[in-house]
Amino acid sequence: MSVELNHTIVHARDDEESARFLAHILGLEVGPRTGRFLPVVTANGVALDFAVTTAEPIATQHYAFLVSDEEFDAAFARIRQAGITFYADPHGRLPGEINHNHGGRGLYFLDPSGHGMEILTRPYGNNG
């Protein structure tokens, strides 16, 4: 069996709010709760298991999602419609812009718990 990432835990102040937020932006579904986890599963089967934490502050993580051009357009439209601040860079220095890195398009935004989310249409290192 080859090694695959199966799931990761995403700490949140409100797991339902965070899971629904990400699922909405990406056009995915929130799965049924399993114990303390609320999953959002990507097309390649990786689950982001949202879980409430009382830790303050929440350790910020970065999650990048490779999407098709059509999925990018749809997610970008949902981001703009919701009035979510987005950036062309991970440091938030280029607000209201997207990037064209690696021959595609990408942007960054924060989820309700402060995690850095990224959508991109070409993987890093792809020059066209």
pTM: 0.94
pLDDT tens series, the chain, 128 aa: 799 999 999 999 999 999 999 999 999 999 999 999 999 999 999 999 999 999 889 999 999 999 999 999 999 999 999 999 999 999 999 999 999 999 999 999 999 999 999 999 999 886 55
Please name which of 124, 128, 11, 24 lies closest in space to residue 66, comparing C-alpha atoms: 124
Query: In 3-state terms, the chain is what percent helix, strand and coil (to 5)?
Result: 20, 30, 50
pLDDT of the residue at 92: 95
Predicted local confidence at residue 125, as pLDDT: 81
